[in-house]
Structure 1
Amino acid sequence: MNLSSCSITAYESFPLVQLCIYVPVLLLGILLNALALWVFCCKLSKWTETRVYMVNLAGADFLLLFTLPFKMLSQFYHLKADTWCLILEGGYFINRLMSISIITVVAADRYLAIKYPLKAKVLRSPPKAAFASGFLWIIIICVMSLIKKLEDRGQDELCFEKSSVKPSVITLCAIIVGFFIPLIILSYCSIQVIAELIRKKNQNCHKEKVIRKAVYIVSANLIVFIVCFLPLYVGHLLRFIMDSVSSNCSAIQRVNNFVHLASVLANTNCCLDAICYYFVNKEFKEASPKLTKSKCEASEETEIQLPCVTH
C-alpha cells in the first residue's frame, strides 16, 4: 500500500483537551514540586539515599512541567519541526526518561535495603546515590542528544508530532530501553518488596500496621507508574508496528490520537509524584516539626496570636 501521501496529525480538538488538563497540572505540579525541593534542600538536616533520589525526581518533574507550555503552543500554533523544536522535544523527553529512571532506581534501592539489609549497608550511601543520579542525567542527556541527531524528521512538518508513516527503529529502541526494561525492573523489585514485607508482617505482629501501610505505599507506587506510563508506550509500540506493516491512514490516525491522549495522562505523573513524596518518605515527617516551628516563630515575631497547628 502506498502511504506516501498519508500525513498524520493530532485531532482538531486535542489542543483544547491539552489546555483544560495542563493548566491545572502546571499550577499544581509547579507548586508541589517547588515545595518538595524546598523541603528536601532547605529544611532537612541529614542527607539520605532516598532524599538524594527524591531531589532528582522532583527536579526532573519540575523541568518537565516547564516544557508543557511549549508543547501546548506547538499544537495551537502548529509550530514547525525546526532546530528550536528539536531542543524543546529533547528537554521534554530527557526529563520524562529521567523521572522514569529515578522511580526505577528508588524501587531497586528499596528492594536492596529490605531484601539484603547487610549488603545494603555497604552498597548504599548518599554519595553513591548522588553519583548514580548524576550518571543517569549524563547518560540520558547524551543518548537523547544522539537520538535527536540521528532521527529523520525531514518528513515531519510539526513540532511534537510524528506526521510521517515511516517506522523509526531508533524510537523502538528508546521505547524498550526507556520504559519496558524499567517497567520489568520496577515490577520485579516492587513484587519482591511486597512479598518480603508480608513475610515480616506474619513474623512480627507488633509492626503489622506499619508494614501493612508500607505494602500499600509500594503497591500504589507501582500502580500509579503503570497507569500513567503504560498506555503511552503501548501506543508508541502500536504506532511503530502499524507504520512497519503499512496500515491504512485512518487506522494509524486512530492510534496517533490515542498516543496524544495517553501522553496527557503520562504528564499528570508530575503531580502524582509530588503527592507521593509525603507518603513515601519519612523525611517529610522529620521536616514537619521544623516547618511547624518556623510558623510559630513567624507568628511571635509579627505579634499575631495564631495557634501553631501540626497537621
Structure 2
Amino acid sequence: MPNCTLNITTGIQTFQLATMIPTFILGVLVNIYVLVTFCRLPRSAWTNMNIYISNMAIADCVVLVLLPVRFASHIWESSEIWDQTNRELCFVLVSVYYVNMYVSIFTVTAISVVRYVAIKYPLKAREILSRGKALVVCALIWLVTCSFSAMFHYVDKPEHNSTIKCFQKNKEGGFPLSFILVLNIVGFLVPFLIMLFCSVNVIFKLRKQLKIGSRTEKLQCMFIISANLIVFVVCFFPVHFGFFFKYITQAYNHSCEAQYFAHNFVHGAMCVSNMNCALDSFSYYFATRTSWKLCTPKQTAREEYKCNYKSVAR
C-alpha cells in the first residue's frame, strides 16, 4: 500500500467553516427552543412524538456544540492538545459526536414508524403507541449507537503509541470491511428503507383521504414527509458512501491522489450531514406543528371512520 499522508485541504476547511457557522447558530437556537417549549408543557400533555423529537433535539444539540471542537482539531492537529496525555479526552469527544449523529438517524426513523402506525392503523395505534414504549425505544437507540462507538475505537486503535488525530482515523490502513458494512447497512441503509416504506405508505394513505377532512393539512403533511425523506438522503447518503469509497481506495491500494480525494470527500460529506442537526427539529416541530393532529391515534381513527362511512354510503 502506498504510504500516503492524508490531510484535509484548505478548501475543505473553508467549506467546514462556511457550513458550520449557520448550522451552529440556527441549529442551537431551534433545538433549544424546541426543548424549552416541550419542558414547559405539563407531563400529561406529552405524547410519544414529543419524546422522540426531544430525544432528537438533545442529540442534535450535542453534535452542534462539538462542531467548533471538530473544526479546531483539524487546524491544530499537531498541537499538544492531542498528545498522549489527552487521548482519552479525544476518544470521549469523538464517541459523543458520532453516537449522537446516529441517535438522530435512528430517532428520525422511529418518528416515521410512529407516523405510519398512527395513520395506517389508527384503531390499533393507542395500543401500540405510548409514552412508555417511546422511552424504551429511545433507550434502545442510545444502546445501539453506543455499541457503534465501542466498535469504532476498537478498530481505530493505533498499533503504536503515536500522537493521535482527533476526529480522524488513527489506525494505519483502512477499517475492516465488516465495520464499514455495519455502519452503512445498520446505520443508513436499514433506516432509509424503513423511512421509505413508511413514507410512501403514509403518502398514499393521505392521498386517498384528500376529500375527507382538511385537504390543506393532508397536503402539507404529504409535502413534509417527502421533504424529510429527501433531507435524510441528502444529509446521510454522501457520508456513508464516502466511508465505503475511502475503504475501497485504501483496501485496493489505489494511488495517493485517489486516497487523498476519498479522505477529503468524507470530511466534506460530514459537513453536509451536520446540517441535518439544524433541519431536523425545524422540520419536525415548526413545519409539522399544524399537522401533528393527523398523526395522533384519536384524529386518525376519526378520519378512518369518516372514510369507511363514506365508502359504505356509496
TM-score bin, normalised by smaller chain? 0.7 to 0.9
Work out the CA distance in 1 between the residues paired with 2:244 and 2:146. 23
Fraction of identical pairs, as percent: 31
Q: Deviations over 1:162-196 (max 9, x none)?
A: 36442423233122211111111111111111111
Superposed counterparts of 1:279-298, under 5 Å? 279-282=287-290
Give 1:96 deviation, angstroms: 0.1
The 2-side partners of 1:196 and 1:206 are apart by 13
SS of residue paired to 1:159: coil
Residue 143 of structure 2 corresponds to: 138
What's 1:29 paired with? 27
Asked if the contact 1:278/1:284 (under 8 Å) is kept, the reply is: no
Decide which of 101, 106, 118 is 1:113's aligned counterpart: 118
Contact 2:56–2:281 (CA under 8 A) maintained in structure 1: no
Normalised to the residue count of structure 2, the TM-score between the two structures is: 0.83
* Contiguous gaps of at least 5 residues in structure 2: 294-314
Go from structure 1 to structure 2 and tell me whether the alpha carbon gap of 1:206 and 1:112 turns closer, same or farther (over 3 Å shift).
Answer: closer
Per-residue deviation, 1:105:
0.4
Alignment-derived partner of residue 8 in structure 2 = 10
**Deviations, residues 87-117 of structure 1 (Å, cap 9, x unaligned):** 1111000000000000000001111111111
Q: Could you tell me whether the CA contact under 8 Å between 1:61 and 1:96 is conserved in 2?
A: yes
Is 1:213 the equivalent of 2:220? yes
TM norm structure 1:
0.83
Offset, 1:34: 0.6
2:199/2:226 contact within 8 Å kept: yes
Displacement of 1:282 = 4.4
Q: Is the 8 A contact 2:53 2:281 kept in 1?
A: no
Name the count of aligned residue pairs.
Answer: 281
Q: Pick the aligned partner of 1:192 from 201, 224, 245.
A: 201
Instruction: Give 3-state SS (helix, strand or coil) of 2:214's partner.
Output: helix
Change in CA separation of 1:27 and 1:214 when aligned onto 2, cut-off 3 Å: same
Q: In structure 2, which of residues 65, 88, 94 is the aligned counterpart of residue 89 of structure 1?
A: 94
Output the CA distance in 2 between the equivalents of 1:244 and 1:36: 44
The match for 2:266 is 259
Q: Tell me how far apart the structure 2 counterparts of residues 175 and 154 of structure 1 sit (CA, whole Å).
A: 25
- Determine the structure 1 residue equivalent to 2:277: 270
Amino acid of the structure 2 residue aligned with 1:112? V
Change (3 A) 1:206 1:113: closer
Number of the residue aligned with 1:77 = 76
SS in 1 for 2:281: helix
How far apart in 2 are the matches of 1:10 and 1:265? 16
Q: How far off is 1:151 after superposition?
A: 3.0
Counterpart residue number, 1:292 = none
Pairwise CA RMSD = 2.2
In structure 1, runs of 5+ residues without a counterpart are 286-311
User: Quick one: which amino acid aligns to residue 134 of structure 1?
Assistant: A
- Structure-1 separation of matches of 2:123 and 2:158: 50
C-alpha separation between the residues in 2 aligned to 1:8 and 1:165?
Answer: 11
Question: Within 1, Cα distance between the matches of 2:237 and 2:117?
Answer: 25
Q: Distance in 2 between matches of 1:34 and 1:58?
A: 8
Distance 1:229 1:17 in 2: 17
Task: Please state how far the C-alpha of 1:13 moved relative to its aligned partner.
Answer: 3.5
